[in-house]
Structure 1
Amino acid sequence: MIKNIIFDFGDIFINLDKPATVRLLSEKFGNFTVTDEMMKINEDYEKGLITSFQFVDYYNSIFPDAQKSELMKAWNAILLDFPEYRLKFIENLASKNKYRLFLLSNTNEIHIHYVKESMTSLRFNRFKKCFEKFYLSYEINLRKPDTEIYKFVLSQNNLKADECLFIDDTPENTLSASQLGIKTWTLIPGEQDIVNIFNQNFNF
């Protein structure tokens, strides 16, 4: 029986345009290939292993003709709107106190600052207080799909894996969680919506 629900953030609550950053940089500075080094920098940044200054400075070395403000704008272009109906959904779910609710997101300092600004601090705080714990990868130095991040959440909160449902839009993330015995839902953005969670075939 599910007693705990662990939610991803992007494309679960806030809408994303994942190709936006590469698209904008390509339009402005010419087509480029995302290298293994770039992926490593991105992952290190999501783990909080490098600072925002170091992150932007690295991409400024890749795109020397770019203003840092242009790089920041392109980086944040992935982030779209946070529909009010989803915020009300999670507030309603939290108010019932039926499940322990957690947020577990791969994210970074620049994106979180932008989210707070775009959705307003008031709405962001309304969202954050719905969760018992609000885990952001860059604050805990762990990221999905590494199994260590799920083990961390389980041990920190004395959770049993088979009593947890983890919801994410990325198959590799739900796969690694499921290998620990956590029940998972790989939500398909644009086809499914978190507000319909209780229409899914889970043992609530």
Structure 2
Amino acid sequence: MEEIKAIIFDLGGVIIDLDQESEIRYFVEQGIPDYENIFSQKNMTNFFKEQEVGDISEPEFYEGFRKLTNVRLSDEKIEEGWNKILTDFLSERIMYLEELSKRYPIYLFSNTNTIHTREFEKRCLGQFGRPLSSYFRELFYSQELGLRKPEREAFIKVIELAGLDVKTTVFIDDNRDNIEGAISVGLQTMHLTSPTTILDLKF
């Protein structure tokens, strides 16, 4: 690996763990037994992708969810279940990022949506008394960019906005497709796979 001058982190599966089983279990209990086949991250629908690039509003998402599942859950119930995939931040990982940010400019690039963003930003503030943005030079969310990983254009946009040199920037993600997208634009990469966590990374 060449010299590193900047680091871009993914969020879910890298900084926070994801609990898709809790999300699936919640919606099954709400009367959607085939939820995993309809709407899970594993079987991502175009509707889900549209949400992640900001092409649909939250009211449109809730109504679309009801149409796809044919179950008339309230907006509040859908939001509660949708956020079940998110786990709390682990203090040791946040401390790691805080220390790392003293030596490198670090960035966050996440495929996400307004519902999840509101929830994990609220959790970070509640757990540590600081906004998530305070740990990073800049946050890049797919729904704000209008682009998502692993699209090549998404990486190009982030690189341009952050003013980074791909040759001296490393991108860290748990998704192989996203790693391939980063490689396609010349970024250095680290594919984080279980049981490895960011605490095992040496910079």
- TM-score tier after normalising by the smaller chain length: 0.7 to 0.9
AA aligned opposite 1:141: G
- The answer to whether 1:101 aligns with 2:106 is yes
Q: Does 1:89 align with 2:96?
A: yes
Superposed, 1:132-171 pairs within 5 Å as 132-171=137-176
1:31 partner amino acid: P
**Secondary structure of 2:45's aligned partner:** helix
- Residue of structure 1 aligned with 2:60, choices 51, 54, 60: 54
Deviates more, 1:86-95 or 1:118-127: 118-127
1:115 maps onto 2:120 in alignment:
yes
| Residues 87 and 127, structure 1, Cα contact 8 Å, conserved in 2 | no
The answer to whether the 8 Å contact 1:174/1:184 transfers is yes
Gap change, CA 1:155 and 1:184, over 3 Å in 2: same
8 Å contact kept, 1:91–1:127: no
Q: Tell me the distance in 2 between the aligned counterparts of 1:63 and 1:73.
A: 18
Aligned: 1:65 with 2:72: yes
**Which residue identity does 1:194 align to in structure 2?**
I
Aligned to 2:87: 80
Contact 2:121–2:132 (Cα < 8 Å) also in 1: no
**Percent of aligned pairs sharing the same letter:** 28
> Matches of 2:21 and 2:63 in 1, distance apart?
21
TM-score of the two chains, using structure 1 as the length reference? 0.87
Give the aligned residue type for 1:161.
V
- Among 167, 185, 189, the alignment partner of 1:184 is 189
Q: Hey, what's the Cα distance between the residues in 1 that align with 2:84 and 2:127?
A: 22
Contact kept in structure 2, 1:4 and 1:165, CA below 8 Å: yes
Residue in structure 2 matched with residue 194 of structure 1 by the alignment: 198
Q: Please state whether the residue corresponding to 1:103 is helix, strand or coil.
A: strand
Q: Is the 8 A contact 1:3 1:100 kept in 2?
A: yes
**For residue 24 of structure 1, what is the aligned residue in structure 2?**
26
Displacement of 1:26 in angstroms is 2.4
Which residue number corresponds to residue 34 of structure 1? 38
Conserved in 1, the CA contact under 8 Å of 2:124 and 2:131? no
Work out whether residues 60 and 68 of structure 1, in 8 Å CA contact, stay in contact via their aligned partners in 2.
no
How far residue 77 of structure 1 moved from its aligned partner, in angstroms, is 0.5
Identify unmatched segments of 5+ residues in structure 2.
none
Query: For residues 3 and 119 of structure 1, do their structure 2 counterparts lie closer, same or farther at Cα, with a shift above 3 Å needed?
Result: closer
The alignment covers a number of residue pairs equal to: 196
Where does residue 14 of structure 1 map in the other structure? Answer: 16
Q: Which amino acid is 2:15 matched to?
A: F
Whether contact under 8 Å (1:48, 1:139) holds in the other structure is yes
1:9 and 1:86 mapped to 2: Cα distance? 11
Following the alignment from structure 2 to structure 1, what is the Cα–Cα distance between the partners of residues 151 and 197?
Answer: 25
Structure 1 residues 5-52: Cα deviation after superposition (integer angstroms, max 9, x where no partner): 000011211121134333322233142222699711111111111111
CA distance in 2, matches of 1:100, 1:118: 23
Task: Give the counterpart letter for 1:147 in structure 2.
Answer: R
Contact 2:9/2:108, CA 8 A, preserved across alignment: yes
113-122 or 6-15, larger mean C-alpha shift: 113-122
SS in 1 for 2:148: coil
Q: 8 Å contact 2:31–2:71 — kept in the other structure? A: no
